[in-house]
Amino acid sequence: MPPIVKGRALDPQTRCAHYHGPLDIIAIKMRCCGVYYACRECHDEMADHPVALWPKADWDQAAILCGACGAALSVSAYLAGDNHCPSCAAPFNPGCKSHHHLYFEPLDALDSWASVKRA
């Protein structure tokens, strides 16, 4: 059974009232509560606590859900996926990269996104 995803005006592929374009098909398991939400705005509106960032040490845990096939991806696999699901190849919104800092601990100056791709 697929995990429950929460969100405002949620569709079957996890699009919500805030992000509803054709490529907006991921849900994120929030580090703070372990619940999948369509986006941070949905979490902020529906949960009774603040968001916690996924620490780099936990990026091997499943935290991203592909709305097309239901695959649960680790943070590392998602960040290394070149805006596609590694399971079904469904395209993800490349604009989501500008929101990574809202969900994932930022890489420090000594790291690079290339190191994520090697993980």
Contact by Cβ (8 Å): 51, 44 = yes
What average pLDDT does the segment 14-27 reach? 97
Among residues 65, 95, 97, the alpha carbon closest in space to that of 79 is found at 97
pLDDT at site 1 = 78
pLDDT per position as a tens digit, 5-20 = 999 999 999 999 999 9
Q: Round to the nearest angstrom and report the end-to-end CA distance of the chain.
A: 28
pLDDT for the residue numbered 108: 66
State the pLDDT at residue 113: 44
Contact 48, 115 (CB under 8 A): no
Residue 59: which of 12, 101, 105, 90 has the closest Cα? Answer: 105
Give the position of tokens 């009774």. 48
Answer with the residue of higher pLDDT: 117 or 46. Answer: 46
pTM above 0.85, yes or no: yes
